[in-house]
Structure formats: structure tokens, C-alpha cells
Structure 1
Amino acid sequence: MSTVVLSGDGLARCPWGETEPLRSYHDTEWGVPVRGESALFERLCLEGFQAGLSWLTILNKRERYREVFHGFDVDRVAALSDADVERLMADPGIVRNRAKIEAARRNARATIALRDDGGLEDFIVGHAPDVTPTPADTSELPGSSPESKALSTALKKRGFAFVGPTTMYALMEATGLVDTHLVGCFRRGVSGRWPA
């Protein structure tokens, strides 16, 4: 159990955002709305790569992911060949998990198929909840929600992989669809979707 931490700069933060590079991520990105297919596809893929690992591991490798997945350009990722997958499996700059690498390619192809139905952004935002948690302590943080479960199910039906309810809840947190900055954190309300 942990509440906000008063940092040396006088700002109250979520306890996980106390040290770099997590502090910069917490202070500038986490909980901020993401717009556009490529940007949202990146977050979806990175959350999938993070499954079972720490976010710090993925954050430290994020720039390499951006390089090898062509800036998360959906069409280019969808076009990855089996030889490309093998090349990625040999790249020490990313997490070399075949299922996750193949899921990125599969998810790119599924994202292309969603374009005729409004696109990835509309699909994900369409599963946003009507209320957000108001956790004062880390023990009050949910790991999933009815909405993240529904999003997970809907994405799987559309051919996506590595989009379980917990992973989709993390995506909702990272992109401001829910606000789980702790009450008292100076970043609470940053999405503009929810009051501080």
C-alpha cells in the first residue's frame, strides 16, 4: 500500500513515478490521450510486449521497437515477412518473444481490417467507461474493468492477439481512457476526460 509521494521538486506523484526514466514517462505521457492510428497501434503493441514483464523493461527498449517496427506504421508492420520475424527474433534490442512479435504483425493486419468500421481509435475509445476510479492508495488500483474485458473480447473477435483484459486496462490507463493517477498526484486529470 502506498499513497502519493512528495518528490524533491515539491510535486506529489504516484509512487511508481519517483525515479527516472519512469518519472519522465509519468510526468509527460502516462494518462495523456493518444490520437491517430499509428500512435494508438504503438501503445497497443507495447502493452502486449509488456505482458508478464515490467513496464520499465519495455520503456527502456521503446526506441528500438520504434526502429524495428517502422515507427509502428500499420501497413509496414502488416507487411512483415516470416524472414522479418526471424530477424526480429535475433535482435537483442527488443524482447525476443516469437508469439509477441507475430502478434504485432497480426494486430497490424487486424487494424487495417478495422479501417472500414471507423478505425482502431474509434474502436478502442468506444469501449471507454462512463466513470473512472479515484484511488487514493495503490491498493485501490484495479487490474481490469468490465470495459477492458469487453474491449479484450471485441478485439479478439476481430483477430487481435495479446489483448487480454489486464493488458487492455493498462492501455486505457496509458491513454487516458481511465485516470488512475492517485488522488493528490499532480498529474491527476491530465487527460482532460476526467476531473482532477
Structure 2
Amino acid sequence: MGQLNDLWLFVLLDLSVLFLCIMMLARTKELTFFHSAVLFLSLHVLVFTLRMISISLGAPTLFNENYLIRLGFEPVRYDEIIRAIVYADIGLFVSTIGFIVAGIVHKRRVVESIAEWIKDGENRLLCDASDESSLANAIIAGIQHPEMWEHGANLNRQLAAERADIRVTIPQAETFYETILAQHRDRVVR
């Protein structure tokens, strides 16, 4: 039953990503490749998760891989989605967490807010994407040292297990917000 609850948490998480993406679309009123890639990926993950839930419940499989295509969504290659998310210039921290959880070592521009997750040269190759020589050096290092990818992927999985376990982070967040609420309870309008 625990795995089923975890699947429902993925559904909630994916619905929140879809909601945020729709809000971004409403604000920008423009469908960029990045938006369509995130929408497609989120819908695909949502359909896959719902399929796993239906299988876990012993129900007939309601969804399959072609479900989104039947709904009229154009298929997007995953390498295009990954490229769009990695190089998105909107500070999408969730994509970094996603890569870490997946155990993927990737190059990314330096962002101060994610410094605690990054061990340059160990689990990530950092470079300034606007500096061609920095980008070239990161790519060459990745090609010349394939063992770095496996080592980095293992470090990423370990880091995610230590810092991004939902069973630990949600209670921490609840405690944090309860503390803030308690400090400002007299100002809260009900």
C-alpha cells in the first residue's frame, strides 16, 4: 500500500507542475518549445503514473503509451525535452532535482541557489553556457572521462536520498511553516 501512496504523491506533484506550467502560459500568452515540452512530459508522466495505479489496484489498464497521441498531442523526443529543460533560462530548480533523482550528471550554468547540491567535477560539470570555451571544456571532459558519469550518477542518487526524500522534506516544510505561522498568528486574517 505504501507504493500506491507514493504513486498518488507523484500524481499530485505532476498535477502541480502542470498547474504551474499553465499559469506560466497564461502569463506569457505564448507557447514556446519549453512550455510544450514540459506539458508533454508532465502529461506523459501523469498518464504513466495513473497506469501504474490502475495496475496496482488490479483494474484494467486505462492508459497506454499512445494515449497522449490519441488526445492530439504531438510526440516530443525526450532528448529535446531534456535539452530544453537543462538550458531553460528560468531558474527551474525542479529540473535540477529531477536530474539528480534520476542519477544524471549534466552540465549547467552556475546558479548560487543550487550550490549546495553541486560538487563541480564530481556529480556535475559546471560551466558558463555563454562562454564557448567553458562549455567546450565541459563537453570534452565528459567525453574524455566516461567513468565520471557513473561516479556522478551514484553521487546524485545518494544526494537525492539524503536531501530530497519526500518523507523527510514534507514534515520539515510543515514544521517551518507552522513556526512562521505561530510567529505571525496575530496578523493572519481568517
Sort the TM-score into its range (normalised by shorter chain): under 0.3
Q: Which protein has the bigger helix share?
A: 2
TM-score (ref. length: structure 2): 0.26
With CA pairs under 8 Å and 6+ residues apart, which has the higher RCO, 1 or 2?
1
Bigger radius of gyration, 1 or 2? 2
